[in-house]
Structure 1
Amino acid sequence: MPMPSRARRSAGWGRLRRGLLAALVAGAVVVPVSAAAAHPEIPAPAPARVGTVTATTLDRAYAANRANAAEASLMAADHGDHDRASAVRAMADPSRHYLSFDARGSGRAVEILGDLAEADRVAVLVPGSDTSLDTYERFREGALALHQRLGTRAAVVAWLGYETPGTISPEVLTMGRAEEAAPELRSFIAELRALNAHARISLLCHSYGTAVGARAANGLDIADLVFFGSPGTGVESAADLRTKARVWAGRGADDWIANVPHAETDLFGLFGTSVGFGTDPVSPAFGAQVFAAGDGGHSDYFSPGSESLDNLARIVLGRTSEVTRA
């Protein structure tokens, strides 16, 4: 019996989508390493030496890291990279607060929004691919939106504490960057707990950042571990994370990440490459608490007024009975 026209269109779109995904993955695998080398390193100072940061030395650390950003901006301008100079100059504004800052390479920054030492609730945001000092402001916009939604008794940490993979790169297909980042994230959470022993800490991980959060989860002193826009976490179930935190997952209805294969799959034998990060975190098989994330796309989870932002805020504030479920 001929397939109904709507079913034919649906099946055709599914094949096209899978074909496009395969082409995207294949392109990522064969990108020559020379492409990355085409952009020379931008000179930057070594990070400021701030030592162990305590509640009483926070302001001193903030000032030292802003000064480092200002110096990095001048060095980038002298080198002729005006885009990097402009991006880092904005980060040196007197209103900005960094626990750490490093403008070398793609860059790292850990920015604080709110009163970290006195906050009752702290949300730590872990970004996904293509987040660097050059694209940092879009990451910060989400942190700002969350902080505004949480109120003054909460603090938000924009944690760009690792070298994120490019969206079109071999690294984004593997757990390698997540393995490298996990010890840094564990160390940071321990430092954060030393700074503020009474706060409830929630770890909010987006996209590839969910793999980072999953790798760091075992033993972390956090109340909530939240995955959204996730391609998978590298484990088959929430139980495999070995965390005492409540595990949450959400995905917007228009998020393209839903089309990424979750089960590890050999890509047509291409260079022996396998893709996939394990069980879909929003699937019943994973075992997370699934929250409603609205109709948004991959970059819309912190959009003001969105269902996803409201639910993320409720999780951080501990108002779990008010979280709407998918």
Structure 2
Amino acid sequence: MGLDTGVAGAAATAARGTEVAERRVGRRGGRGRRRTGRWRRALLAAFVTGAVVIPLSAAAQPEIPAPPPATLAPLTAATLDEAYAANRANAAEASRMAAADGNDHRAAADRAMADPARRFLAFDGRGPGRATEVIGDLAHADRIAVLVPGSDTSLDTYDRFRATALNLHRQLTRDAPDSRTAVLSWLGYRTPRTVSATVLTEGRADQAAPHLREFIRQLRGITGRDAQLTLLCHSYGTVVCGRAAAGLDVSDLVLIGSPGTGADSAAGLRTPARVWAARGDDDWVGGVPHVSADLFGTTVGFGTDPVSPTFGARVFAAGDGGHSDYFSPGTASLANLARIVLGETSEVTRA
């Protein structure tokens, strides 16, 4: 769900270079400040080059055959069971097609999604795939969390994304057993590769944002106006949420392990929602230069660090976890995420 350790190393190296440049600013005054911008752009250019020149990681993968998505009636509380059944049947057919194509791993993943106990609002087994799964009773929920993943999330890696949704739902049930909650894992876009130029730009986020806005609109058709919706965005998913945020009908927008949102501040997101941010002490994304630069006609990087005071988010404690640990049981981050979803904002522990 985030950039891997290879990119982390490149990012950390870039961060150390930026720190050196900033120390030089202090010694050289105005001339150093002028040179810092060039340092940052050069570092980002090197970062892009490092991402592009790893051919094995960035190589195109063959498309995986699958049927087109099921045709569904407009989503309402009354049509949920029909949608769940149609998507399970579609996943079963996708499994058969993947097996016939010799892709046993994808066949197994699709087959698991066709289990009668699983509930999907959307499923598309073609290529890297898309899916939106429901954990809990969506038809009667009054507090709903929507999880938006980061890079390298696909049907082939979906289990680790689903685990975050399961962990959060268990925490919500434990903290408020009488509450009516649901958690939705929204894999509604083609996530960028970990080691690729796309993970450093807003291109995939720009493509994803309209789909996320439409999904939130559909959710309102199911839940009505009274349900509280919380958007929980991780890693590159925070870039997606940043692009979709303007006017989005959610009560809370949560940014965790974020490389930036593309906005200079929480106000720049133009959302009426409360904006939260957190980063674990061992999350390497803190070492990524939180800057943006125009390189070869493309904006690279995502700007202001959401946990910095200048961004203006409500920064909460995430403990000492790493980039993939925010939803791990027993962590400060998971406890705080559950409090935000439950509306217990005064109980959230601040960083």
**So what's the TM-score if we normalise by structure 1?**
0.90
Instruction: State whether structure 2 residue 338 is matched by structure 1 residue 299.
Output: no
Which of 276, 286, 298 is the matching residue for 1:258? 286
Secondary structure of 2:83's match? Answer: helix
Taking the aligned partners of 2:123 and 2:216, their CA distance within structure 1 comes to 17
Q: Which position in structure 1 is the counterpart of 2:119? A: 97
Q: Which position in structure 2 is the counterpart of 1:282? A: 307
Taking the aligned partners of 1:188 and 1:272, their CA distance within structure 2 comes to 31
Q: Which position in structure 1 is the counterpart of 2:227? A: 199
Counterpart of 2:135, as a letter, is L
Give unmatched runs, 5+ long, in structure 1.
1-10
Secondary structure of 2:50's match? Answer: helix
Q: Which position in structure 1 is the counterpart of 2:214? A: 187
Q: Contact 1:24/1:168 (CA < 8 Å) preserved in 2?
A: no
The alpha-carbon distance between structure 1 residues 86 and 291, as it changes in their structure 2 partners (threshold 3 A), is same
Q: Which position in structure 1 is the counterpart of 2:89? A: 67
Which of 221, 244, 251 is the matching residue for 2:249? 221
Q: Which position in structure 1 is the counterpart of 2:74? A: 52
Secondary structure of 1:155's match? Answer: strand
Q: Which position in structure 1 is the counterpart of 2:52? A: 29
Taking the aligned partners of 1:99 and 1:250, their CA distance within structure 2 comes to 29
Give the percent of matched residue pairs that are identical in Structure 1 and Structure 2.
68
Taking the aligned partners of 1:129 and 1:293, their CA distance within structure 2 comes to 21
Q: CA deviation at 1:86?
A: 1.0
Which of 141, 157, 161 is the matching residue for 2:163? 141
**So what's the TM-score if we normalise by structure 2?**
0.84
- Cα displacement string for residues 223-247 of structure 1 (whole angstroms, at most 9, x for unaligned residues): 0000000000000000011111000
Taking the aligned partners of 2:240 and 2:229, their CA distance within structure 1 comes to 17
The alpha-carbon distance between structure 1 residues 205 and 32, as it changes in their structure 2 partners (threshold 3 A), is same
Q: Which of structures 1 and 2 has the larger relative contact order (alpha carbons within 8 angstroms, sep 6+)? A: 2
- Cα displacement string for residues 251-299 of structure 1 (whole angstroms, at most 9, x for unaligned residues): 0000011111111247xx7x67763201000000000000000100000
Q: Contact 2:276/2:315 (CA < 8 Å) preserved in 1?
A: yes
The alpha-carbon distance between structure 1 residues 173 and 303, as it changes in their structure 2 partners (threshold 3 A), is same
Q: Which position in structure 1 is the counterpart of 2:134? A: 112
Secondary structure of 1:43's match? Answer: coil
Q: Which position in structure 2 is the counterpart of 1:166? A: 193
Which of 86, 105, 119 is the matching residue for 2:108? 86
Q: Contact 1:260/1:276 (CA < 8 Å) preserved in 2?
A: no
Q: Which position in structure 2 is the counterpart of 1:177? A: 204
Secondary structure of 2:305's match? Answer: coil
- Cα displacement string for residues 98-145 of structure 1 (whole angstroms, at most 9, x for unaligned residues): 001000011000000111111010000000000000000000000000
Taking the aligned partners of 2:123 and 2:133, their CA distance within structure 1 comes to 8
Taking the aligned partners of 2:50 and 2:349, their CA distance within structure 1 comes to 38
Which of 309, 317, 325 is the matching residue for 2:342? 317
Taking the aligned partners of 1:189 and 1:96, their CA distance within structure 2 comes to 21
Instruction: State whether structure 2 residue 263 is matched by structure 1 residue 235.
Output: yes
Taking the aligned partners of 2:150 and 2:344, their CA distance within structure 1 comes to 26
Taking the aligned partners of 1:253 and 1:49, their CA distance within structure 2 comes to 45
Q: CA deviation at 1:178?
A: 0.5
The structure whose residues are more often helix, as a share, is 2
Taking the aligned partners of 1:261 and 1:323, their CA distance within structure 2 comes to 28
Q: CA deviation at 1:29?
A: 2.9
Q: CA deviation at 1:169?
A: 0.7
Taking the aligned partners of 2:73 and 2:298, their CA distance within structure 1 comes to 43
Taking the aligned partners of 1:255 and 1:22, their CA distance within structure 2 comes to 23
